[in-house]
Structure 1
Amino acid sequence: MKIGYFGPAGTFTEEAASTLRGEMVPYDTIPEVFEAVHTGEVDLGVVPIENSIEGSVGVTLDLLAHQYLLKIRGEIILPINHNLLINPEAELGDVEIVYSHYQPLSQCRMFLEKRGVRTQAARSTAAAAEMILGDMKAAAIGTKRAAQLYGLKIAEEDIQDHKNNMTRFVVIDQEDHSPTGKDKTSVVLCLSKDRPGGLYDILGEFASENINLTKIESRPSKEKLGSYIFFVDMEGHHRDIKIMNVINRIQSKVGYIKILGSYPQEGDD
């Protein structure tokens, strides 16, 4: 079993992927992970989809909705603790610039503003750790594993602005998961036309079957300004009779609906 993940080694995505059994294969970008699963280069892919502070990862949603027929097979929810990494010989007061992926930079905004440092986005937290090697005036926001991999020291721990910081990762595959009895289903849909109460009408169909929606989010459809698609997560499996009934009933009320996958539900959203 080969597991592709948004790398390199030392990222939170690697930590999430390591909960699965298999050979770990890092990729530089999220689209590369999708393409590797699509072509069969790897068996599964692990990518971030949502953070409790910064919200959804747009590129993951767009790839699922528009570019690939891959399915969500699982989800992994990981507590996120950010650390400020510096060179062993450096001191905290020496730091003038901090590198990291844009998400950690956003999640540690108040800490960084208080320090009065400049920030620079990097491809990943691990890439940021590598970039600061030998630079006494630079720091990186990254994982403890990244500190070990690159020989850095942790100047400060848990620097995120909000302590209840969680990231949800999804496992992508050619097929989704068989029913387990405690599942979640993700779909994306587009209204057939812009009319008052259109979304309310569709959501009412789920309520009529007592289906609990755990998430609903709109994103631009990429067709024209003001046109949106909706991502919906619900409790249950798409093979459940009541979910099948709802999807059948709303077919005529939407421009399209795409099942992104059903998978075992982990933890509480």
Structure 2
Amino acid sequence: MLRLAYLGPPGTFTEEAALRYAEREPAELIAFGSMPALVSAVETGLADRAILPIENSLEGTVSTTVDLLIHETDLKICAELILPVRHFLLAHPGTRLEEIRVVLSHPQALGQCRRFLERCLPHAEQVAALSTAAAVAEVMRSDDRSRAAIGTLRAAELYGAAVLARDIQDQKSNATRFVVLALEDAEPTGVDRTSLCFTVKRNVPGALVEVLNELAVAQIQMTKVESRPMKSVLGEYVFLVDIEGHRKDPHIAAALQRMAEKAAEIKIFGSYPRDEDGLNGTRALRD
């Protein structure tokens, strides 16, 4: 059976994504304490694949995952999964909202619930945790009723927390895109996405446009482009791009080759099936 690593403890959104992915392919779920540990688990054979969040519709790119792909690993993206995100304010049973003075959660969750926190708990201190589930577990281990956590409904059930407020995310269509990492990416399906990054040559005017123009010339749809600091010298960036199609499609392969000739460096994160069902589901929530 497939061994699938996810960010624990049980009750995280990543576990929810892992459970959803296991509906596609039966898997044994193995919890790890950090996202770098997930990558190491696959690299060392402790797991066959790992599932990590890479992008949220409200907060944007998950920098830890992207930086791992850019700088730390040669694992490939073999699948994606788009999951609607619902946030709940959780605390000890019997706790009233006006008692809350501290709110714990993962930084992404705190950011996704910014409006609720500003309006309903403007004086509460916001404390970052390693995961939403870890925040719920910490709150429930303490007898301090002035503390609450933002987490999932599953976390509430697992740790015995009460729901003080539900669906507190800023947008009801809030969704997170997860990627599955493995030693190899996926074979073409006809409905694929390819993710990559590249750097441009120094002191060359229009260098970025020259690289990206190869996609336009080949009529390849670009669905995402953004920059990240190189973490070496101030002012130097790596550019992240998602395109429709598979790296083995002839026109994609040719365009990527031309991009490589014009870029300083290029790295293909992988080609994988697009989660059209997940994307359509989040659009339905918005509409």
CA distance in 2, matches of 1:193, 1:142: 45
In structure 1, stretches of 5+ residues that fail to align are none
Cα contact 1:186–1:232 (8 A) shared by 2:
yes
The Cα shift of 1:79 comes to 0.5
Equivalent residue in structure 2 for 1:42, among 30, 40, 47: 47
Q: Give the aligned residue type for 1:119.
A: Q
The Cα shift of 1:97 comes to 1.0
Taking only the aligned residue pairs, the percentage that are identical comes to 47
Q: Could you say which residue in structure 2 is the equivalent of 1:174?
A: 183
The Cα offsets for residues 41-70 of structure 1, whole Å up to 9 and x where unpaired, read as: 100100110111111011111111111110
Cα contact 1:86–1:92 (8 A) shared by 2:
no
Cα contact 1:85–1:152 (8 A) shared by 2:
yes
**Secondary structure, in 3 states, of the residue corresponding to 2:264?**
strand
TM-score by length of 2: 0.91
Q: Could you say which residue in structure 1 is the equivalent of 2:193?
A: 184
CA distance in 1, matches of 2:271, 2:261: 22
Q: Which has the higher helix share?
A: 2
Cα contact 2:55–2:177 (8 A) shared by 1:
yes
Cα contact 1:46–1:169 (8 A) shared by 2:
yes
Equivalent residue in structure 1 for 2:134, among 124, 127, 135: 127
The Cα shift of 1:258 comes to 0.9
TM-score by length of 1: 0.97
Equivalent residue in structure 1 for 2:94, among 89, 96, 99: 89
Q: Could you say which residue in structure 2 is the equivalent of 1:71?
A: 76
The Cα offsets for residues 70-90 of structure 1, whole Å up to 9 and x where unpaired, read as: 000000100011000010132
CA distance in 1, matches of 2:127, 2:261: 48
Alignment coverage as a number of residue pairs: 269
The Cα shift of 1:243 comes to 0.9
1:252 aligns with 2:284: no
Q: Could you say which residue in structure 2 is the equivalent of 1:5?
A: 6
CA distance in 1, matches of 2:153, 2:172: 17
CA distance in 1, matches of 2:267, 2:203: 19
1:220 aligns with 2:229: yes
The Cα shift of 1:16 comes to 0.3
RMSD (Å) for aligned C-alpha atoms: 1.1
CA distance in 1, matches of 2:187, 2:222: 20
CA distance in 2, matches of 1:169, 1:10: 16
Q: Could you say which residue in structure 1 is the equivalent of 2:125?
A: 118
CA distance in 2, matches of 1:154, 1:122: 19
Equivalent residue in structure 2 for 1:53, among 35, 58, 61: 58
CA distance in 1, matches of 2:231, 2:99: 45
**Secondary structure, in 3 states, of the residue corresponding to 2:259?**
helix
Cα contact 2:103–2:148 (8 A) shared by 1:
yes
**Secondary structure, in 3 states, of the residue corresponding to 1:61?**
helix
The Cα shift of 1:195 comes to 2.3
The Cα offsets for residues 178-213 of structure 1, whole Å up to 9 and x where unpaired, read as: 000100000111112232211111111111111000
Cα contact 2:32–2:38 (8 A) shared by 1:
yes
Q: Could you say which residue in structure 2 is the equivalent of 1:15?
A: 16
The Cα offsets for residues 91-150 of structure 1, whole Å up to 9 and x where unpaired, read as: 222111111111111111121122222211111111110111232111100000000000
Q: Could you say which residue in structure 2 is the equivalent of 1:160?
A: 169
In structure 2, stretches of 5+ residues that fail to align are 281-287
Equivalent residue in structure 2 for 1:142, among 137, 144, 151: 151
Q: Give the aligned residue type for 1:48.
A: P
CA distance in 2, matches of 1:199, 1:48: 27
CA distance in 2, matches of 1:250, 1:261: 16
1:230 aligns with 2:230: no
**Secondary structure, in 3 states, of the residue corresponding to 1:132?**
helix
